[in-house]
Structure 1
Amino acid sequence: MSLEDVQGRLIEAVQCTWRMPDREREWHAVKASWPDYRHHTGFGDHDAFGPPNAAAMPVQPKLTRKEMAEMEEAFAWLMAASEDDRRLIALAIRALAKGHERVPWMKLRRAMGVKRGADGLRMRYSRAMLKVCERANRRFGRNSVSRG
């Protein structure tokens, strides 16, 4: 697997975590035994509650077992990097998963505790990702990492 392949799998894994159910939010959404009680501002006035489908939110598809297994596998590759490097990788991958075309290294400096040297973060990321790629390629029985 190339660096771009591994990076793409990590981006997909992060996006899968965003689709996972939030159990705490679901717990707070549990209805009480009392029926819903609403005050009407006027007889038959549906505008008091917004349009009829205002509460309808788009439902994201649930994760499949395959997606869950692939996500866990991709996150296991990160164990090849040191703890600080995993943090850097997580920040960079999260930015890419949000839709950035490139990693905003200047914005990551503060989160990583660096005052100068965004280029140093980029090089550190590259070295850490090479370790992650080597770990990922062990699964496929390959010894080398292709960068392109």
Structure 2
Amino acid sequence: MTTSNFSNTAKMREAGDGFRTFDDLQEALVEAVTIYRRAFVRGAWPFAGDGPWHLFRHEAGDHGAYDAARMPKVPPSRAELGEMQQRLDWLRLVSDDDDRVLVVRAIEALANGASRVPWSRLVQAKARWRTADALSYRYRKVLAVLVKRVNRLEQDRRSGVVGGEFQSTVIG
């Protein structure tokens, strides 16, 4: 994807057409991973099944009653699970398996709280990925193509086009 395509996408986003940019898509995928972890990762629900948790209650004067680190994680709502599923389905639009693995690992690193993706660690994970700079370039290239495909998919949904990337046959 060339620089002019990025600027066109940014202009459309500023115009309020609802198109996603590179940063928007990356942020949405990171949010989907955090919702996934809240829902499905072991230990996400802090209450034991056999305890009398209906009797347990924090009072305002209790030690650590409002400490955010001690508060239990709230399971995601159905709306959040739907958004998560939609965003993770976008990864199906990445055609190459190695590219999909690259995107997932980079997004997981960002979801872990890293300010940037640790490319040197990711290079060590696969022998096929040669250098950190090449890996970073490949990630940006793959995500740029993904941005284009997601924007086209969302535009088709808004305009009422039946079919799209996920549906191969028209029913009706």
Provide the residue aligned with 1:6 in structure 2.
25
Taking only aligned residues, the RMSD between alpha carbons, in angstroms, comes to 2.6
Query: Of residues 109, 127, 146 in structure 1, which corresponds to 2:123?
Result: 109
1:74-118 Cα deviation digits (max 9, x unpaired): 111111211111111111101111111111100111123247411
Provide the residue aligned with 2:37 in structure 1.
18
Alignment of 1:35-46 (within 5 A): none
Amino acid at match of 2:29: L
The alignment covers a number of residue pairs equal to: 118
Max Rg structure: 1
Listed as ranges, the gaps of 5+ residues in structure 1 are 32-56, 143-148
Query: Which consecutive segments of 4 or more residues in structure 1 shift more than 2 A?
Result: 21-26, 112-116
Alignment of 1:49-128 (within 5 A): 58-81=71-94, 82-114=96-128, 116-128=130-142
1:54-80 Cα deviation digits (max 9, x unpaired): xxx632111111111111111111112
Whether contact under 8 Å (2:37, 2:44) holds in the other structure is no
Question: Which TM-score applies when normalising by structure 1?
Answer: 0.68
Question: Which TM-score applies when normalising by structure 2?
Answer: 0.60
**Partner Cα separation in structure 2 for residue 21 and residue 14 of structure 1:** 10
**Partner Cα separation in structure 2 for residue 21 and residue 109 of structure 1:** 28
Alignment of 1:136-147 (within 5 A): 136-141=150-155
More relative contact order, 1 or 2 (CA 8 Å, 6+ apart): 1
Amino acid at match of 1:16: I
Whether contact under 8 Å (2:32, 2:84) holds in the other structure is yes
Listed as ranges, the gaps of 5+ residues in structure 2 are 1-19, 51-69, 157-172
**Partner Cα separation in structure 1 for residue 120 and residue 42 of structure 2:** 35
Identity of aligned residues (%): 35
